[in-house]
Amino acid sequence: MPHPSDPFEDDLDDLPPPPAVHYAEQALLGALLLDPHRLSEIGALEADHFDNHAHGALFRAMLETPAPDPEQHRDSPAWLNAVLDAARPNAPGLTASYLHTAIQVCPWPQHAISYARMIRADHARRSLRMHAERLAQTASDITLPHRAAATVHQADALARFLDDLSGRFAPHPGSLPRTPLQPAPPRDVGEDALDDERFLLASATAHPAEAKNMRWLVAEDFAAPLHAAVWQCLTALTHRGDPIDPVTVLWEAQHRGLLAHDVTPASLLTLVETAVGSPEHWGEKVVQRALLARAQAVAARITAYTDDPANSPHQLVTGSRRALADLAALRTRWQHTIAPATPTSPRTARNPSAPRAGPPPRVTAPAARAAR
């Protein structure tokens, strides 16, 4: 037997139970159907804020139908019928009995403001989840011509949404989410990603002077742990001012315990011997892949927050901002790799024989007569 509180439920047993906001929406609609004048008390609420489509259509019909006279509304269902007729084109499943059900299940019409606040909070949670999903989709969409730039743009849109959200919900104690987080999604270890890292290590070994200026690249940017460790060997040699070539890198790797049964001296030499291109070129690719992976991890973290209904809007804002902060530092380093080098014009040497500024020279009398 279908549940009387949902106009679209059927007798299928595998349907999930309605979420808590479903009952908040019913309670608000029941309060407004009883007392239409409360529409002016509930604050900024839109039909799109409702999770249930039929509820949103019914609320929109209330906004579009002129409010009745309070005395007439007590004795006549005319306004209820007008609202139902206005809502049915967008929600054909609505019936007059459902409107009466909403009225009956409303605990206290005087609590309409609280019910509206609950609906806005749940809409904020769903909207935040949508922004996080867009960030994840953008970061993983290989068809985009400028995927990293598009991902950064989507992260900015998410940050602006959080700023707007923070202004609509008051802060409160215990602002950090307590949601258990899953491990970050695995990094891309396909052949293209591994080849970029191999070419980077080899070219940095062959051209250490160029690699010396690549402070924007760190070991955490690498997808392969071995490649990250070899990069640390290169940066350590550079920091000490030691010579850099495949053999010195091998020796440093040995002292760092990188040589094992699956990493032999010969294989490590092969890793850093075949130099192709510039280390900055390959470094930019490695940082870009790290940026995309971090964006997907941030999106997964925010999605986990929104999937936990125990989190309040303020907790969602605080946790999401901290997640975006993890992306900000990596974004700054990536932007450094794509920023055009600022041309420096050579300074013009001052002519030491040029006279200093001062008063004009005094003209002598013979020179004045000669000028005439």
Task: Give 237-263 pLDDT, tens digit per residue.
Answer: 999 999 999 999 999 999 999 998 789
Q: What's the confidence (pLDDT) of residue 363? A: 43
Report the distance separating Cα 154 and Cα 105, nearest Å.
41
Task: Give 81-132 pLDDT, tens digit per residue.
Answer: 999 999 999 999 999 999 999 999 999 999 999 999 999 999 999 999 999 9
- 8 Å CB contact between 291 and 331: yes
What is the full DSSP assignment across 168-235?
HS---S--S--PPPPPPPPP--SHHHHHHHHHHHHHHHH-HHHHTT-TT--GGG-SSHHHHHHHHHHH
pTM: 0.81
pLDDT beneath 50, residues of the chain: 1-2, 342-372
Q: What's the confidence (pLDDT) of residue 178? A: 87
Q: What's the confidence (pLDDT) of residue 82? A: 95
Q: What's the confidence (pLDDT) of residue 337? A: 87
Report the distance separating Cα 151 and Cα 83, nearest Å.
44
- 8 Å CB contact between 68 and 38: no
- Delineate the domains of the chain, giving CATH numbers in brackets: 20-107 (no CATH), 124-338 (1.10.860.10)
Length of the chain: 372
Q: What's the confidence (pLDDT) of residue 195? A: 95
Contacts of 346 by beta carbon, 8 Å cutoff, 6+ apart: none
